[in-house]
Amino acid sequence: MEEKNQHIILKTKNLSIGYKSKKAGTVIASNINIELKKGELIGLVGANGIGKSTLLRTLTNVQNGLSGEILINNQLLSDYTSEELAKTMSLVLTEPIASKNLSVFELVALGRHPYTNWVGNLSSKDIEKVNQALNLTNIDLLKNKKCFELSDGQLQKVLIARALAQDTDLIILDEPTTHLDMYHKAYILKLLQKLVKETNKTILFSSHEIDLAIQLCDKMIVMNENEVVTDSPCNLISNGTFEKLFPKDLIVFDNKSGSFRVKK
Amino acid sequence: MPKTETYTFSFIALIFILIICFLVNISLGSVSIPIQAVFKSFLGTLDHESWPYIIQDYRLPKALTAILVGSGLGISGLLMQTLFRNPLAGPFVLGISSGASLGVALVILGSGIFGGVFATLLISKWAIVIAASLGSFLVLLAVLVVSSRVRDTMAILIIGLMFGSITAAVVSVLSYFSSAEQLQQYIFWGFGSLGNLAWSELLIFSIIYCLGIFLSIISIKGLNTLLLGENYAKSLGLNIKQSRFIIIIATSLLAGTITAFAGPIAFIGLAIPHITRQVFNTSNHKILLPAVFLFGAIIMLICDSIAQLPTSDYFLPINATTSLIGAPIVIWLLVRKRKMIF
């Protein structure tokens, strides 16, 4: 890793995630040690139900971890006020936005919420940031369209632009490629890679597009049954981490092409 | 937002229409007073034996009440629709008004059961106002407590309807044990009335109303953020619990006092935001809030003008008029546009 990239944005120490109930806690994954640096694109992969969403929910302070620490910019996540956190971390969620009657500009401008005054008026700096976000995601032309007029792919770009407008060091996306066709899946992930390069932000996304993630990510977090491994895609392939990802009865990982193949 | 300017013309037009409706509303009634005379009475130069009295003590407070009622109900409907992310929401659907009805029923009908001196103490105008406000606030609070446990918005609506049924049932039990006189008093309250307020009552009404409007205005930013959904709003640093609380207090102040002073007025709270969205095609509450205010006031003034059946001695209950006139308008708008903007 180069020297300039050494600044650590997000770090977990022996983090355990899961659900607490009155009787007993359910541990979903434990001993998670992740280090995300500035200007990295990180893909989080794992089988359905392995706890990707739980991990993201824990990292974004939606739910509490069971034990261990989460540090963002060297400060405990639990010490952040919601406003500070909103200026440090922005999200793209899987849930649809509540009102599709917002225009693209309005939706992206809502990303400026933590910076605007009590009634939400945009300053010239806010408008500049919004236009910059629209520009980076190539959606300037959609600016005045309503969200219900957009395709799924366009909407995803708009939501990414909203997160960019929030002007945070870290952007976390929960399955940004669901509902998209093959081209747009590649397009969105390629866009994320471009954004990391141009803005030097750290972007973490969960996805089922393992082969695309292998090609585009600087680092991947692989959630297996027994462990959570973080490394560069190359090392993960040579260590055979992907082979443990799924049950072996149907598909196998092909090291040469870096993708899964159906067993014959 | 850059689009604000494009609505300037609509706003000017609406303010103009509001002023016309206001004047026409004052001039119409069992005795028709020419608009010039209305102007003169405002200037204090009207020379007539009864008109100044009619205008100042009856028609002016009634027209002002209509403006407060229409705009207040419209705004509380808008707040509920955004908070619950449901176009069907409104003060009536969520049981706020039935809560108020229950409070009033307990006071008017229940006084007979408690009997004696207590009864005469209870049935004052203020007792009714306080009972209605308290009833609406409690029901809304109950809906809120339940809604924090259920995630599904449809479930919340059904729960609101259930609270409505419960209060309706309690009211019918109470009415079974009440005298015909008390029943009549309760039913008359249920017809709704804009014309019963003296200036002193109007003053109290407008103070609480302004408080509700103030809370709505400081909620604008939060309401806009809630358009993304609660999780996004949270990630933007919005304190959901606090904003939700303020929005609900604003709604219960507005809807509660309106129901207290003017009776349960149907339809307006649900429909005004939809009518407004047909003209102002935006979700931005900075534009919607004042637009809903104007539309609510205008439509309420028109309904009231029709309800008093100009030049005749009869008048219709305002509660029936709002639905009779308003519901077909909403149906027509939706059929014509084939699409509900929300």
Tell me the CATH number at B58.
1.10.3470.10
| Chain B, nearest residue to A171 by Cα | B235
Mutate one of B214, B235, B240, B286 to test the A interface: name it (highest A CB count within 10 A): B235
The span from the CA of B187 to the CA of A94, in Å, is 50
pLDDT in tens, B263-281: 888 788 888 998 898 888 8
Residue B308 lies in a domain: yes
Q: What is the pLDDT of residue B152?
A: 64
Q: Which two tokens stand for residue B15?
A: 């303010």
Residue A120 sits at the chain B interface (C-beta within 8 Å): yes
pLDDT in tens, B16-50: 999 999 999 998 887 888 888 888 888 877 778 88
Residue B342 lies in a domain: no
CA distance A106 to chain B (A): 7
Residue B269 lies in a domain: yes
Among the residue ranges A76-80, A147-151, B1-5, B179-183, the one predicted with the least confidence is B1-5
CB-defined contacts A:B, below 8 A: 84
Residue B211 lies in a domain: yes
Cβ separation A82–B231 shorter than 8 A: no
Cβ separation A82–B238 shorter than 8 A: yes
Residue B319 lies in a domain: yes
Report the number of distinct structural domains present in chain B. Answer: 1
B263: left (phi over 0), alpha (psi -120 to 50) or beta: left
Sorted by where each begins, the domain ranges of chain A are 40-61+82-262
The span from the CA of A89 to the CA of A100, in Å, is 24
Cβ separation A106–B221 shorter than 8 A: no
The answer to whether A90 touches B235, Cβ cutoff 8 Å, is yes
**ipTM score of complex:** 0.91
Class (C level, CATH) for A40-61+82-262: alpha beta
Instruction: Give the pairing type, strands A89-92 and A170-173.
Output: parallel
The span from the CA of B14 to the CA of B191, in Å, is 29
Cβ separation B342–A166 shorter than 8 A: no
Give chain B positions within 8 Å (CB) of A103: 3, 282
The answer to whether B156 touches B147, Cβ cutoff 8 Å, is yes
Determine the longest span between alpha carbons in chain B, in angstroms.
65
Which of A97, A113, A116 lies closest to B229 in CB terms?
A: A97
Pick the closest to residue A88 from A165, A160, A170, A199 (CA basis): A170
- SS3 category, B225: helix
| Structural domain containing residue B60 | 2-337
According to DSSP, the residues that pair with A231 across neighbouring strands are A220
Strand arrangement of the beta sheet that strand A89-92 belongs to? A89-92, A170-173, A202-206, A41-46, A219-223, A228-231
The answer to whether B101 touches B169, Cβ cutoff 8 Å, is no
Let me know if A247 is exposed, middle or buried by CB neighbors in 10 A (0-12, 13-18, 19+): exposed
pLDDT in tens, B70-89: 999 999 999 988 988 877 78
Average pLDDT, chain A: 91
The span from the CA of B66 to the CA of A41, in Å, is 59
The answer to whether A237 touches A211, Cβ cutoff 8 Å, is no
**Sign of the torsion angle spanned by Cα atoms A107, B214, B77, B275:** negative
Residue B85 sits at the chain A interface (C-beta within 8 Å): yes
Q: Which two tokens stand for residue B148?
A: 């924090």
Mutate one of A101, A107, A145, A160 to test the B interface: name it (highest B CB count within 10 A): A101
Cβ separation B229–A107 shorter than 8 A: no
